[in-house]
Amino acid sequence: MNVTAAPRYLILLLTLFTALFSYEAVLAHQPFFEDTDSTAGTPMPVSDPEISTALFSTLERPGDVDFFTFSVSARQTVEIGMTIPQIEGQDQFAPYIGVIASGLEGDTNPGLPADARALVSGQEGAIVLEAADATIFFEPFSRTAYWQRQRRRITFPVQGEVKVVVWHPQGSAGRYALVVGQREVSGGDPAFARKLKEYWTPVILQPSAESDSPDTALTDPTQEPQPSLSDSAGAGQSAPRCSWLTRLLAFLFGESELCQ
Instruction: Convert 89-136 into a string of H (helix), E (strand) and C (coil).
Output: CCCCCCCEEEEEEECCCCCCCCCCCHHHHCCCCCCEEEEEECCCCCEE
Strands 44-45 and 53-59: unpaired
In this structure, what CATH number is given to the domain that contains residue 48?
Answer: 2.60.120.380
Q: Is residue 51 part of a domain?
A: yes
In the prediction, which pLDDT does 135 show? 92
- In a 3-state reduction of DSSP, which class is residue 183? strand
Query: Do residues 238 and 138 touch, judged by C-beta distance below 8 A?
Result: no
Higher pLDDT: 8 or 235? It is 8
Give the pLDDT band of residue 122 (cuts 50, 70, 90): confident
Query: How many domains does the chain fold into?
Result: 1
Q: Percent of the chain at pLDDT above 90?
A: 52
Give me the amino acid identity at 147. Answer: W
The side-by-side arrangement of strands in the sheet containing 44-45 is 44-45, 65-72, 160-167, 96-102, 124-129
Residue 76 lies in a domain: yes
Q: Determine, yes or no, domain membership for 150.
A: yes
The helix (H) or strand (E) run that includes residue 116 is helix 114-117
Q: Determine which of 14-23, 31-40, 67-76 has the lowest per-residue pLDDT on average.
A: 14-23
Specify the pTM: 0.72
Q: With cut-offs at 50, 70 and 90, classify the pLDDT of residue 50.
A: very high
**pLDDT tens string 151-170:** 999 999 999 999 999 999 99
In a domain, 128, yes or no: yes
| Residue bearing the bigger pLDDT, 240 or 45 | 45
- Label residue 180 by pLDDT band (50, 70, 90): very high
What pLDDT does residue 249 have?
A: 53
Span 197-204, average pLDDT: 91
pLDDT of residue 118: 86
pLDDT band at 149 (very low <50, low <70, confident <90, very high): very high
pLDDT for the residue 211: 43
Tell me if 172 is assigned to some domain.
yes
Residue-number span of the structural domain to which 157 is assigned: 36-185
Q: Write down the pLDDT at residue 215.
A: 42
